[in-house]
């Protein structure tokens, strides 16, 4: 099943809210397999006030967080119904590479696929691109925690 999700549907799956929700749209999702999400990077992002005012660059940790949020959407869409509402927490971040800066006006495309799945954790392969050029990649491991309130 492939489908796109708008911000309202994303916010039903993620606990994040402004200014920390870093996914604007899900372009494609195949539960149990992969997700492609989009973050439109604008000049008025709050982090650009300090990183860096004269030469704005999206912080690498926020690129990783955007990949993790896309992975959270994939995990949520892949979980059995009785596990919906569980929070997803980082356990490990491996093989991180940053290749190019992400700047205002860029559209950050986030591709996430499952490497491993169990009933309590997932390992994800993540890649971020701008204009089909890789800007970052990482492997993320996460676990499921308490239900969101």
Distance of CA 141 to the CA centre of its chain: 13
Strand ranges (DSSP E) for the chain?
3-5, 25-30, 34-40, 86-98, 107-117, 121-130, 133-147
Closest CA to 98 of 51, 130, 142: 130
Q: Which residues contact 30 (CB under 8 A, 6 or more apart)?
A: 1, 2
| The pair of three-digit structure tokens given for residue 121, joined into one six-digit string | 């954790």
Phi, psi of 86 (to 5 degrees): -75, 140
Catalytic positions are: 51
How far apart are alpha carbons 103 and 112 in whole angstroms? 21
């Amino acid at each position: 099943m492939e489908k796109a999700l708008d911000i309202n549907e994303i916010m039903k799956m993620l606990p994040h809210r402004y200014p920390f929700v870093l996914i604007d749209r899900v372009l494609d999702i195949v539960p149990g397999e992969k997700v492609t999400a989009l973050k439109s990077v604008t000049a008025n992002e709050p982090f650009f006030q300090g990183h860096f005012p004269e030469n704005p660059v999206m912080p690498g940790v926020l690129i990783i967080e955007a990949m993790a949020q896309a992975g959270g959407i994939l995990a949520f869409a892949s979980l059995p119904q009785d596990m919906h509402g569980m929070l997803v927490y980082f356990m490990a971040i491996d093989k991180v590479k940053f290749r190019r800066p992400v700047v205002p006006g860029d559209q950050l495309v986030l591709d996430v696929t499952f490497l491993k799945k169990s009933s309590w954790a997932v390992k994800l392969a993540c890649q971020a691109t701008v204009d089909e050029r890789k800007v970052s990649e990482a492997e993320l491991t996460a676990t499921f925690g308490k239900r969101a309130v």
